[in-house]
A and B are shown apart, each in its own frame.
Chain A
Amino acid sequence: MPHPHKPSAPPLAANAGASPDATRRVITGNRLRDGVPVYFAGVGRWSRALTEARHVAEAEAEALLAEAQAGAPPHPVVAPYLIEVVVRGGRLRPLSLREEIRAFGPTVRAAEP
């Protein structure tokens, strides 16, 4: 589903190994201190940008999730979980509408402050 009010997702950064249109797995969760959606970029790093997410094949997903969950408390992210994404046109796109909206924001215009 094209997102009506947001620019298209930025090009995918270096995150090799995926063929176009292959379903990949990414770890996401909401950041503890402010609740914003973040994506596991590897090596203990979390990014607000889906484009920076580390993405893996299904067989490697649980290991990636375990890596994302590791570390002493406080963990910076609430309840990390796996989502499905697809690499399309060099960009990562979530497969579900829910995750699309989480990644790129509401599809409606808010009231002007």
Chain B
Amino acid sequence: MYRYDAFDRRFVEERVAQYRDQVRRRLAGQLSEDEFRPLRLMNGLYLQLHAYMLRIAVPYGALSPEKLRLLAKIARRYDRGYGHFTTRQNIQFNWIKLEETPDILAELASVEMHAIQTSGNCIRNVTADPFAGVADDEIEDPRPYCEIIRQWSTLHPEFSFLPRKFKIAVSGAAADRAAVRVHDIGLYLRRNEAGEVGFEVLVGGGLGRTPMIGKTLRGFLPKRRLLAYLEAILRVYNEFGRRDNLYKSRIKILVHALGVEKMREAVEAEFAAMDDGPLALPAETIAAIAAHFAPPDYAVPEPGEEAALGRALAAEPALARWVKHNVAAHRAPGHAIVTVSLKPPGRPPGDASAAQMELLADLAERYSLGEIRVSYEQNLVLPHVRRRDLPELWRRLGEAGLATANIGLASDIIACPGLDYCSLASARSIPIAERLSEHLASRDQEIGELHIKISGCVNACGHHHVGHIGILGVDKNGEEFYQITIGGSADENAALGAIVGPAVPSAEVTHAVDALIEVYLDLRRKGERFPETYRRVGAQPFKEALYAPA
């Protein structure tokens, strides 16, 4: 894991001191809310329905036990005992007091964390594959590049007041576990015909009011030129992106308006005008950052470990189910990647209590070489677990309500905070997710992989556009209705879902989802996932089932 150097530490501590003085002046009436708002937002502090909300950056989703324990401490001391992991691998606390925020930021700085650039029209937290560095389908670990981008983009003077917020995701694997294609810039590590590793650069993806899939701007970019090319894209966006209309201000609108060819021409012209100077990434610079992410020393599995695990799985069907769904292949022999579900049936997706965070910090030290990751799907990952330890880990997780065996299944629902917390929301998300997960949990095995995603407004923090089944809350004359989309996908074959028909009332959402699932189960071919069935048979059977007269 990257450790702050003296520059990082001083910069974050100075920011805390600046912010403490800003809060003091605000509380003393020396700053108006109009003056203070941009200052607090630069430090991740929003004002929501019930209190201030603090969004804390988890760079590329990487946490240490020390950091997770500090988050648990914040939950206990400054909030109501829990936190909410978000679809951008961050954590939010919903019940924060303004007067306590300087102390919270100071506590965060003590473990090399902050809330800078988790809001505002700047480059936000860079996200990554939560299996980075351990996935068996990976070309190269994306984390060093995420860290390089983080350092380049933090307080970048040219890009601190962009037309709108800007999100970057990076993946180094064949499977896309970072929703790369729906980011302002998406980066895939690719190997070219000469065997060199570089980047495929996508631009103009995004969700929100006008969802779009990113387009490839460069099929292969040498690593050395990564920052120069990113800077070229940002410069074009900064110059030509719209500032006159909030709803047309994201780079996806610029790419759409120009067309990808003209966008490419503009970026390449800017790129060509740059020399290979300060923005160049020499191999030794990359290596120095990559050293922070060097693989740990994995224990060599002992003879008989796998056989013992096999016996445990045969003896305990619930353990076998959990291993089947929550455990992924690891590149090191005898090891596994464990995804800890934060989606127990009937509970808010992505929430973790302070006690659960503390337990996970302990378990990460005991079983995962001291590493935890946050996934954009609002779960936590223990990336270095010995396979022989899986039964014991499962038991300990189960004691804390953390052994739900549902990763990638129907009850593993993404949901934004919605109208229960968020001042932008049009309708509630969490109660819909709770009802659905409770209802669908018993059918998870039968249904198989299914991604349901729920947003409480068009801003789409719940990624509904790319759900196999997407649910969007809307306000119709004061009543909550839910618009349903089908066929979306956030993976390497990303697609936007299509609206099935008129929105349904809140009370009918579960019935509607049931109807769609029944059509899928009825029509699917062996091994076919929901989006594939939808693409093969079209929308009509789903529409007929959803809107059939009672």
Contact = CB atoms under 8 A, between A and B. Distances in A.
Given A32-B98, A35-B47, A111-B347, A101 B82 contact: no
Contacts of A98: 49, 419, 425
A113 B478 CA distance: 34
Contacts of A75: 29
Contacts of B49: 37, 98, 101-102
A79 B34 CA distance: 10
A108 B428 CA distance: 10
Interface string B123-139: 00000000000000000
B29 A73 contact: yes
Nearest to B351: A111
B78 to A, nearest CB: 11
Could you tell me the dominant secondary structure of chain A's interface residues?
Answer: loop
Interface-central residue, A35, A37, A79, A109, by most chain B CB under 10 Å: A35
B80 to A, nearest CB: 6
Interface string B25-56: 01111101100000000000001111110000
B97 A111 contact: no
A34 B98 contact: yes
B348 interface: yes
A96 interface: yes
Nearest to A112: B353
Contacts of B99: 33-34
Interface in A14-40: 30, 32-37
A13 interface: no
B454 to A, nearest CB: 13
Q: What class of interface size applies to chain B in its complex with A?
A: 35 or more
Given A108-B420, A113-B81, A30 B75 contact: no
Contacts of B431: 107-108
B201 interface: no
Could you tell me the dominant secondary structure of chain B's interface residues?
Answer: mixed
A36 B356 contact: no
Interface string A62-102: 00000000001111001100000000000000011110011
A43 interface: no
A12 to B, nearest CB: 22
B30 to A, nearest CB: 8
Nearest to B352: A111
Contacts of B75: 113
A111 B431 CA distance: 14
Given A34-B52, A35-B51, A36-B51, A108 B434 contact: yes
A36 to B, nearest CB: 6
B82 A111 contact: yes
A79 B47 CA distance: 11
Contacts, number: 93
Contacts of B97: 33-35
B341 to A, nearest CB: 14
A106 B480 contact: no
A74 B29 contact: yes
A105 interface: yes
B274 to A, nearest CB: 44
Contacts of B355: 112-113
Nearest to B98: A33
A35 B480 contact: no
B220 interface: no
A110 B50 contact: no
B392 to A, nearest CB: 24
A79 B423 CA distance: 14
Interface string B71-89: 0000110001110000000
Contact of A35 (B28, B48, B76, B356): B48
Nearest to A102: B49
B28 A74 contact: yes
B353 A111 contact: yes
B354 interface: yes
Contacts of A102: 49-50
A34 B53 CA distance: 10
A33 B99 CA distance: 6
A30 B96 CA distance: 12
B19 interface: no
Given A72-B29, A73-B29, A35 B82 contact: no
Interface of B: 26-30, 32-33, 47-52, 75-76, 80-82, 96-99, 347-348, 351-356, 419-421, 425, 428, 430-431, 434, 475, 478, 480
9 contacts: A33-B98, A35-B47, A35-B48, A35-B50, A35-B97, A97-B480, A102-B50, A108-B348, A112-B355
Interface of A: 30, 32-37, 72-75, 78-79, 95-98, 101-102, 105-113
Closest 7 CB pairs of A and B: A113-B81, A74-B29, A73-B29, A111-B82, A34-B97, A106-B420, A111-B353
